[in-house]
Every structure is written in structure tokens, then in C-alpha cells.
């Protein structure tokens, strides 16, 4: 199933990336359609970090090209696209913290079977307990992400996921490891809508504090994360964005031609 079968809006090119102008509500509707259609689908997300990585990894670039839908997980990307005359607005920011409550409510209502793989041992258990506290009828299973993704441990995880029979598979291993795992294993599992979700279950388990949602809406979530983890994230937020200068110049030329 191709992404344009789900949303009538064409993909947009922003900073060299092809993205779908999806609201969280449209993303949930697409998920429901993908689940009903069977097989597998991938709903990815682009932000400044992924734009940096795709320029250095052909495999990651191929992952985004093959994804059924690509959400915009970046207010600065949206603001830049809008400045370039693209039909995109703040309502098109779609990341886990924006749609998590609506997603889990929809999953419980529709009876979706959700499997999360990723995070440190024990974190997924805590996250599952918290989510089930809010949605006790939810069918949710999990496995930590600390295993050899190329060995026998991976086969065991795949077998467990396949036996569970998921409608949705959330993969929280950090970028680009989670995208590589999805690309390598989605067809081996054979069914499910796959989401790379980063630290989603760390937030659910309370082991990593999320930025206040007002900061997310303002596009300042990066600042909260930078202050919280400066040693790990300083390069990502202060150096990597400069690599987007050529893409910004290309967008400016394209806008001038339009």
C-alpha cells in the first residue's frame, strides 16, 4: 500500500527530505487503514538529526524512501517549509508525545495488538504497566532492546513478536539503529505497522522526563533536551544543523523559481 492511497496530499520536499504533511489525527487514520489492509507498513519521522544522518548513510536514506509515510517531527522544519511557501503548518507536527494519548485510546478501542521492542531491560515493563493503568483492556507486549540484532538473540525476539501477532510494532532503539532494525526485520515478521519511536517508553516509564508540551509546540523541545543531557546532545543540536546549509540554499533557489 502506498502512502498516497492513505492521504490525498502529495509529499513535500523540505530541506532535501520527502515528508508527508500529516496531522496526528491523519496519522492515526492512516494507521487504522494500514492495520485493516494487513501486511506491513512503516510510518517514519524526520527531524534535523535524521536529515543529518541520511546524508551520511545510504541505508538510512533508503529506509525513508521506502517508508509508507514520513511524519514531520520538527517545528523548525515546518517553519522553514512554511517560509519556503510549502502548504504546511504547526498542526502537521506529529511525534509520539503529540499523539500518544490518542494512539493508545484508539489501540484499545480497535483491539490492536501492540508490541514494543527497545529500551533498557526493565524499562519496557514499567512503561507497559503505566500504559495499561490508563488503558487496562490494551493488548500490549514488550521486549528490551539490549540484544544482538544480528544473531540468535534477534531470532528469538522475532519469534516472540511473530507469536504475539502484532498489529503495530513500536521500535525504540534510537536513530539510526531502530530504522536499520525495521528495514532488516519488517518482512520477516510479516505483519504490522512499524513505528520508530526513540525514547517513547523511557518517557512512559518515567526514566526520562519529556519536555513540557508548550515547549514542543514552540519548537523548543531541543533546548530542554540539550539542558537535560548536554554531554550527549551538544553535538546534535549545536553542530549537526550547520550541515543543512546546502539544503537550505537549494530550498531558497527552488522557492525563487516558484
Q: What is the predicted pLDDT for the residue at 109?
A: 97
Residue 190 confidence (pLDDT) above 90:
yes
Q: Give 40's DSSP letter.
A: E
- CA 27 to CA 48: how far, in whole Å? 20
User: pLDDT tens for residues 140-150?
Assistant: 999 999 999 99
What is the model's pLDDT at position 7? 46
pTM, two decimals, is 0.90
Tens-digit pLDDT profile for residues 18-69? 999 999 999 999 999 999 999 999 999 999 999 999 999 999 999 999 999 9
Strands of 122-251, DSSP E:
139-143, 168-172, 192-196
Asked if residue 258 has pLDDT above 50, the reply is: yes
- 245's enclosing H/E stretch is helix 245-257
Where in the chain are the domains? 3-221
| Lowest-confidence pick of 114-123, 153-162, 249-258 | 249-258
Distances (CA, A) of 129 to 88, 96, 109, 140, 198: 37, 18, 18, 10, 19
Per the CB < 8 A criterion, the answer to whether 11 and 19 are in contact is yes
Q: Cell 546546502 sits at which residue?
A: 246
Q: Among residues 240, 205, 124, 132, which one has the least CA distance to residue 172? A: 124
By percentage, how much of the chain surpasses pLDDT 90? 79
Number of H helices, E strands in the chain: 13, 8
131, 104 in Cβ contact below 8 A? Answer: yes
* Closest by Cα among 29, 141, 1, 18 to 77: 18
Provide the 8-state DSSP code for 8. S
Report pLDDT for 83. 96
Pick from 8-12, 132-136, 223-227: least confident:
223-227
> Looking at residue 10, what DSSP letter applies?
P
C-alpha to C-alpha distance for 105 and 100, rounded to whole angstroms: 9
245 Cβ contact partners less than 8 Å away, ≥ 6 residues apart: none
Per-residue pLDDT, averaged over 2-25, amounts to 80
C-alpha grid cell, residue 208? 526520562
Pairing of strands 168-172, 192-196: parallel
Amino acid at each position: 500500500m502506498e502512502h498516497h492511497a492513505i492521504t490525498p496530499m502529495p509529499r513535500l520536499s523540505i530541506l532535501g527530505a520527502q515528508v508527508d504533511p500529516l496531522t496526528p489525527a491523519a496519522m492515526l487514520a492512516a494507521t487504522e487503514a494500514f492495520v485493516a489492509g494487513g501486511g506491513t507498513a512503516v510510518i517514519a519521522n524526520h527531524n534535523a538529526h535524521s536529515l543529518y544522518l541520511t546524508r551520511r548513510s545510504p541505508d538510512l536514506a533508503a529506509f525513508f524512501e521506502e517508508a509508507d509515510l514520513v511524519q514531520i517531527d520538527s517545528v523548525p522544519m515546518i517553519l522553514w517549509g512554511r517560509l519556503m511557501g510549502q502548504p504546511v503548518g504547526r498542526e502537521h507536527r506529529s511525534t509520539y508525545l503529540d499523539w500518544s494519548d490518542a494512539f493508545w485510546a484508539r489501540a484499545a478501542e480497535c483491539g490492536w495488538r501492540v508490541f514494543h521492542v527497545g529500551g533498557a531491560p526493565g524499562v519496557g515493563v514499567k512503561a507497559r504497566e503505566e500504559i495499561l493503568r490508563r488503558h487496562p483492556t490494551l493488548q500490549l507486549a514488550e521486549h528490551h532492546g539490549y540484544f544482538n540484532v544480528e544473531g540468535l538473540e534477534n531470532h528469538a525476539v522475532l519469534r516472540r513478536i511473530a507469536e504475539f501477532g502484532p498489529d503495530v510494532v513500536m521500535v525504540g532503539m534510537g536513530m539510526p539503529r531502530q530504522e536499520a532494525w525495521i528495514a532488516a526485520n519488517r518482512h520477516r515478521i510479516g505483519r504490522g505497522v512499524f513505528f520508530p519511536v526513540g525514547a517513547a517508553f523511557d518517557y512512559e516509564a518515567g526514566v526520562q522526563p519529556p519536555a513540557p508540551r508548550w515547549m514542543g509546540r514552540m519548537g523548543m523541545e531541543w533546548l530542554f533536551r540539550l539542558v537535560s543531557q548536554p554531554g550527549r546532545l551538544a553535538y546534535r543540536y549545536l553542530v549537526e544543523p550547520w550541515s543543512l546549509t546546502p539544503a537550505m540554499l537549494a530550498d531558497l533557489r527552488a522557492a525563487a523559481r516558484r
